[in-house]
A and B are shown apart, each in its own frame.
Chain A
Amino acid sequence: MDNSKRTFLKVAGISLLGIGSKPLQKALAVNEEPKILPSPDALTGKRWAMIIDMKKCKEDCQDCLKACHQVHNVPDLGNPKDEVKWIWKEPYEKAFPGDETVYMQEYIDQTLKGSQFITLCNHCDNPPCVRVCPTKATWKREDGIVMMDYHRCIGCRFCMAGCPYGSRSLNWRDPRPFIKEINKEFPTRERGVVEKCNFCSERLAKGLIPACVEACKEKALVFGDLEDANSELRGLLRAHHTIRRKPQLGTMPQIYYIA
């Protein structure tokens, strides 16, 4: 055996030992990893949900939409093909397809003077998008918020096919040139990943209510904890008949409409 071979084997042996000791080290070391503690100001809930009072919502008002898209760096691509949107308006018959009847249409028109419903991610209790995602890039938090990890998403768009509400958008191209004013508090996205409403999880963590709720002067949007019997949300649910989009699909959507 010549010298170089011997040296090689020595180094290789020692390296192998090193690799082998890794799990051992892990097992013996005391777990002292730092933990991320929630801010003491953070809003916490057991099951976040939202009520949208369409009787209060003004037809030509865009405040909530603008606030959300500005805070979250949602680009305005200017065409429906590449469109990215988190919250938007949809005519009643599109938000609630199959429900329209001549009578219903009349009734809705009378009470709502036009029927542009505010639509966004329903943060379903049983979200099909989470079920179909092959990388857990979208998942449901303990408090019910359906989250997106822009850094893990592979852009397969299975979630877009799975969502029965059209709440998800892919970045078909680089969104950054199409953001009017970048909010440095929130990440921008890259091309090729899916995004959607996150119920302002980043604001809740700081003790702030969702941007759309804050922006609504008519107080048509109410955000709260469904599990808290004393919440304003529960009070409204007790006082009003509410409807949800496509509840028959078993997704258990958590956006309630007073219509």
Chain B
Amino acid sequence: MLEKALTGSKKYWALLSLLGGIIVVGFFCYLKQLSFGLGITGMSRDVSWGLYIAQFTFLVGVAASAVMVVLPYYLHHYKLFGRITILGEFLAVASVTMCLSFIIADLGRPDRAFNVLLYPTPSSILFWDMVVLNGYLVLNIVIGWTVLAAERADVPPPKWVKPLIYLSIPWAVSIHTVTAFIYAGLPGRGFWLTAIMAPRFLASAFASGPALLILLGFIVRKFSKFDPGKEAFQTLAKIVTYAMLISIFFVLMELFTAFYSQIPEHMSHFQYLFFGLHGHTKLVPWMWSFVILAVGATFLLINPNTRKNEKTLALACVAVFVSLWIEKGLGLVVTGFIPSPLEEITEYTPTAPEVLITLGIWAIGFSILTVLYKIAVSIKEEVGS
């Protein structure tokens, strides 16, 4: 099936070349980072995790969201999702690859990454995250590829793949739960020390992932003969709506606990996020953009007229994706360090090489996505005609 990725229109190659160019720039910056050290980034002694880990956290959510198409289709035999399932699984593959790349990019000594396997440490959540992320990657490659191959050959998928599909459902939940546990179990980091972290992660994942899937589906439909179907998009839109509402609800619950209890270790981080702390306000405009986008998207999604109109739906999906990227890919990780446990306020701004490396990894993910979608769509076209 790989041969399908080797032939394509001019637009297909132009897109891949563009992404390739971004990857090359990012890779060059990464070489710089390797020789200089992580000091090339904006991270510091006080804010010791930054853009890389934040992207990783956000993308785990996008990856986990594949379950939102797999579950209705395989557990509830929701036939409308049959055509779009493969897009969800391949999105998961691309996202998990980005997650793993971001972790490697963040390591001070990437040459020692395999120490995690050589000295397995079950008490460390990072060890378990490595296990579940790699497992999820393999599951989605195997399932997606096998089901697509079967579809091409016009035979039902082999029996052995069914248990793997069922396994992938709780596994998707596990990747985001374990990722939340990285943060939620640390004493002295009041911002993250919240039992609702994992549910909050899952809720925002099930909004941002399917929102991206809707947008990708629209793009696929525009540039190919493959149409996942209007109804499939509408059901996904309903999933995004509920997940977004639950997401916002969870954030409000965090705000209540922090501001009503008035415990400084919990409250000061939210103060920093939304109002700034002692004149440090770098994230404030971002967070209010999050609020406006999230509320705006919710209105567009709740109103059946704007949800059913694909133009406003696309707009809402962009707003959902961007707002949750701000919330998780920007605010959540960095703010855990501001103020520091010693009440030091050190702000964080990523440097140019750091941003370029980040873009490079996103480009890697989108190249993988482009190639995988090209294969999937070509086969769907082949079967359809």
Residues of A bordering B, CB below 8 Å: 80-84, 90, 93-95, 97-98, 128, 130-137, 152-158, 160-166, 169-174, 190-194, 246, 249-251
Per the bound structure, the CA–CA distance linking A165 and B103 in Å amounts to: 25
Query: Is B342 positioned at the interface, with any CB of A under 8 Å from its CB?
Result: yes
CB atoms of B109 and A153 under 8 A apart: yes
Residues of A within 8 A of B123 (CB): 130-132
Given contacts A163-B188, A164-B187, A170-B48, contact A153 B124 (CB under 8 A): no
Q: Which A residues are CB-close (under 8 A) to B285? A: none
Interface membership of B161, Cβ < 8 A: no
Q: Which of B1-9, B114-122, B147-155, B163-171 contacts A (4 or more CB under 8 A)?
A: B114-122
**Is B336 located at the chain interface by the 8 A CB criterion?**
yes
Q: Report the separation of the CA atoms of residues A157 and B52 in the bound assembly, to the nearest whole angstrom.
A: 13
* Residue from the set A84, A135, A171, A191 with the largest chain B CB neighbour count within 10 Å: A135
16 contacts between A and B (CB under 8 A): A82-B39, A97-B265, A131-B124, A134-B126, A135-B112, A152-B112, A157-B108, A161-B189, A161-B337, A162-B188, A165-B188, A165-B341, A165-B342, A170-B48, A173-B38, A249-B188
Q: Which of A133, A163, A172 contacts B39 (CB 8 A)?
A: A172
Give the A-binding residues of B (Cβ under 8 A): 36-39, 43-46, 48-49, 103, 106-110, 112-113, 115-116, 118-119, 121, 123-127, 130, 182-183, 185-189, 264-265, 336-337, 340-344, 346
Question: Are B121 and A133 closer than 8 Å at their CB atoms?
Answer: yes
Q: Residue on A with the closest CB to B339? A: A97
Using A154-B113, A157-B108, A250-B187 as known contacts, list a sample of 10 further A-B pairs with CB atoms less than 8 Å apart, ordered by residue number in A: A90-B342, A98-B264, A132-B125, A135-B115, A135-B118, A137-B115, A154-B107, A158-B124, A172-B44, A172-B45
Residue of B nearest to A164 (CB): B188
List of A residues within 8 angstroms of B341 by Cβ? 97, 163-166, 246
Question: In the complex, which of the residues B45, B126, B182, B186 contacts A128, with contact meaning CB atoms closer than 8 Å?
Answer: B186
Which of chain B's residues have a CB closer than 8 A to the CB of A194? 108
Give, as a whole number of angstroms, the nearest-CB distance from A246 to chain B.
7
